[in-house]
Amino acid sequence: MNVLITGASGNLASGVVESLEDRYELRLSDVAPVVTKHQFVQADVRRRDDLIRAAEGMDIILHTPAWHGIHLGSRTQSDFWELNVDGTFNLFQAAVANRVPKVVWISSMAVHSRDNIYGLSKFVGEELCQFYHRTAGIRCIMLRPADFTPYRNRKHYAERLLHGGVDRRDVIAAAVLAVANETVDCEAFAILRQDPWTPDDVQEWPHDPFAVLERYVCGARRLVERYGLSLAGRIGTSDITAANAKLGYEPHHNFITFLRELAERDALGDAAEWLQQR
């Protein structure tokens, strides 16, 4: 099976390449040259002909390039449109021209916030997926990850796991499952972390978060206080039922798994240093 991965040197795609390379014939593509043992085609997704060339002979395209939330202050609306929307249109033009039957398209949970150009670009991108599914029969799996941007250090990573974050490794696993999936025709999936919280935990948290954490990790309060972790004011639950049922997505990382790892590091005596690492 031949898989084209666009934006191949990016945060998500580079991890997906490592996970797929033993099972698929990979062709990588990016706007700038990439040193790789795989086939590589330099392609700017804003240029349709580049993508048509890159997609030749492919069975699946995993499409990742986009300006995203962190670029909202530094990139113009035109930049967002050209890369995120025109780039996606060109992707489908290339898929049609080369009769590529399946696309895995990386959307975002920002698709729900259409009052900024990023969210709008993801909404339009998903509409293009639906359109090309209806009109050209291309199977489209759209993944909507939460925030997995690189973190400053492990403390930052942990704190994000109580807000809108999801572990990059879980997002990579979701993309790998989407590439392998043979049953979904055209559907979008929330790719979120899975927390263990019960409804009682969610209610109790704003009054006594330590009581909640101690139910899962003995000594949680001491760890949080000792290493100066800031806790969110509230917690909630997330729904990954569809991704679990249809893709087999089972995220492994959340604040509790992090705290357990921190407890192990604490016992070894190198937790403070470990928390400062990326």
Contact residues toward ligand NAD (CB under 6 A) are 6-7, 9-13, 30-32, 44-46, 64-66, 68, 83, 106, 108, 145, 147-149
- Kindly tell me which of 1 and 70 has the beta carbon lying closer to ligand NAD: 70
Residue 204 beta carbon to ligand NAD: minimum distance, rounded to whole angstroms = 30
Q: What angle do CA 188, 120, 76 make, to 5 degrees?
A: 135
- Kindly tell me which of 73 and 269 has the beta carbon lying closer to ligand NAD: 73
Residue 256 beta carbon to ligand NAD: minimum distance, rounded to whole angstroms = 21
State the Cα–Cα distance between residues 80 and 103, nearest whole angstrom.
21
Residue 58 beta carbon to ligand NAD: minimum distance, rounded to whole angstroms = 16
- Name the nearest CA neighbour of 140 among 63, 214, 70: 63
- Kindly tell me which of 7 and 209 has the beta carbon lying closer to ligand NAD: 7
Q: Which residues contact 119 (CB under 8 A, 6 or more apart)?
A: 108, 110, 111, 112, 113
Residue 122 beta carbon to ligand NAD: minimum distance, rounded to whole angstroms = 7
Residue 7 beta carbon to ligand NAD: minimum distance, rounded to whole angstroms = 3
Residue 243 in tokens: 């991704």
Residue 184 beta carbon to ligand NAD: minimum distance, rounded to whole angstroms = 19
State the Cα–Cα distance between residues 268 and 270, nearest whole angstrom.
6
- Kindly tell me which of 149 and 241 has the beta carbon lying closer to ligand NAD: 149
- Name the nearest CA neighbour of 99 among 69, 131, 138: 138
Q: Select the residue whose beta carbon is closest to ligand NAD and give its number.
A: 10
Residue 85 beta carbon to ligand NAD: minimum distance, rounded to whole angstroms = 12
- Kindly tell me which of 65 and 209 has the beta carbon lying closer to ligand NAD: 65
State the Cα–Cα distance between residues 174 and 176, nearest whole angstrom.
5
- Kindly tell me which of 59 and 82 has the beta carbon lying closer to ligand NAD: 82
Residue 47 beta carbon to ligand NAD: minimum distance, rounded to whole angstroms = 8
- Kindly tell me which of 80 and 258 has the beta carbon lying closer to ligand NAD: 80
In what helix (H) or strand (E) does residue 24 lie, and over which residues does it extend? none
Burial track 46-81 (b if 16+ CB lie within 10 A, e otherwise): bebebbbbbbeebebbbbbbbbbbeeeeebeeeebb
- Gyration radius from the chain CA atoms: 20
Residues 193/166, Cβ–Cβ less than 8 Å:
yes
